[in-house]
C-alpha cells in the first residue's frame, strides 16, 4: 500500500486531475505487478514518477510549518533536498509490501482555485476494510502536482510536521537535518544504493 501512496503522482499533462492520477497509478501498479522486472528497475521507475511529479518544495515548507520562515534560503534548499530523498527512499523500501492491492477512485472535489482533492480507496485481494487515500493536488504551470496524501484521514505531511516540530523545539534544526540524513543513509543501504551525501 505504501508504494501505491508514493507512486500515485500526477503526470505532466494538464487536464482532469482524477484522470491524470489514475493514469499514473495504473503505471505504478503495472510496475509493481511485473514479476519479470528486476527490483532495481522497479525502484528507478517509481522514483522517476515521484521526482518528476511531487511538489516537494511545497511539502517541505508545509512539513516544517512555522519553522520554515526562520530558515535561510540555503537551509530551505538543503532541507528540501534531504527531505525529498528521505521520502522517496522511505516508500521505495516498502515495495516488497505490495500484495496485489487495487486502487478504486471515488471522484474529486475542488478545495480552492487551483487546488483539488482526488479520492480513492485501496482494496486487498484477501478482503478486509478498504484503506481510504485522498490525494491533494495543486495546479502549477498547467501541471497538476501532489503536495499531500491522507491515509484514513491522517495527513502524511501533517504527521511529519508534528514529528519535526518536536525535534526542532527540543534539539534544534541541525539535529533534525542530521537525523534525516542518517535515516536516509540507512534506507539507501537497505536499497543497495550508494549515497554520496545531500
Q: Write down the pLDDT at residue 193.
A: 64
**What is the rounded average pLDDT for all residues in the chain?**
86
Q: For residue 39, is pLDDT > 70?
A: yes
* Average pLDDT rounded to a whole number, residues 21-47: 86
CB count within 10 Å of CB 13 equals 13
Distance in angstroms (rounded) separating the CA atoms of residues 47 and 128: 29
> CB of 121 within 8 A of CB of 128?
no
The answer for residues whose C-beta is within 8 angstroms of residue 18's C-beta and 6 or more apart is 105, 107, 108, 118
The C-alpha cell that represents 122 in the structure block: 485501496
The helix/strand count (H/E) of the chain reads as 7, 5
Domains and CATH numbers, the chain: 2-191 (3.10.450.710)
Q: Write down the pLDDT at residue 13.
A: 46
> CB of 164 within 8 A of CB of 157?
no
Q: Write down the pLDDT at residue 48.
A: 87
Q: Write down the pLDDT at residue 8.
A: 47
pLDDT digits (tens, 9 = 90+) for 122-132: 998 888 889 99
Distance in angstroms (rounded) separating the CA atoms of residues 68 and 174: 13
Highest mean pLDDT among 13-22, 73-82, 101-110, 138-147: 73-82
Distance in angstroms (rounded) separating the CA atoms of residues 120 and 146: 14
Is the model more confident about 15 or about 125?
Answer: 125
Percent of the chain residues topping a pLDDT of 70: 89
* Average pLDDT rounded to a whole number, residues 113-127: 91
Nearest residue to 105 (alpha-carbon basis) of 23, 34, 197, 3: 23
Q: Where are the extended beta strands (E) located within the chain?
A: 102-112, 115-123, 131-140, 143-151, 154-155
Buried b (16+ CB within 10 A) or exposed e, 128-139: eebbebbbbbbe
Q: SS3 of 68, please?
A: helix
Q: For residue 91, is pLDDT > 70?
A: yes
Q: For residue 24, is pLDDT > 80?
A: no
> CB of 141 within 8 A of CB of 169?
no
Question: If pLDDT is split at 50, 70 and 90, which confidence band does 1 have?
Answer: low
Amino acid at each position: 500500500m505504501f508504494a501505491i501512496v508514493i507512486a500515485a503522482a500526477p503526470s505532466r499533462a494538464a487536464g482532469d486531475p482524477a484522470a491524470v492520477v489514475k493514469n499514473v497509478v495504473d503505471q505504478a501498479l503495472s510496475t509493481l505487478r511485473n514479476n519479470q522486472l528486476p527490483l532495481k528497475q522497479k525502484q528507478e521507475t517509481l522514483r522517476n514518477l515521484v521526482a518528476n511529479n511531487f511538489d516537494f518544495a511545497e511539502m517541505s515548507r508545509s512539513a516544517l510549518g512555522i519553522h520554515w520562515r526562520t530558515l535561510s534560503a540555503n537551509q530551505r534548499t538543503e532541507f528540501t533536498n534531504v527531505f525529498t530523498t528521505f521520502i522517496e527512499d522511505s516508500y521505495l523500501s516498502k515495495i516488497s509490501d505490495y500484495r496485489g492491492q487495487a486502487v478504486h477512485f471515488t471522484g474529486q472535489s475542488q478545495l480552492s482555485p487551483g487546488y483539488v482533492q482526488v479520492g480513492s480507496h485501496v482494496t486487498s485481494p484477501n478482503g478486509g476494510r478498504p484503506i481510504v487515500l485522498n490525494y491533494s493536488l495543486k495546479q502549477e504551470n498547467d501541471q497538476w502536482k501532489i503536495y499531500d496524501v491522507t491515509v484514513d484521514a491522517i495527513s502524511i505531511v501533517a504527521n511529519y510536521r508534528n514529528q519535526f516540530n518536536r525535534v526542532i523545539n527540543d534539539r534544534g534544526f541541525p539535529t533534525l537535518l542530521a537525523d534525516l540524513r542518517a535515516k536516509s543513509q540507512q534506507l539507501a543501504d537497505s536499497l543497495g544504493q550508494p549515497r554520496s551525501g545531500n
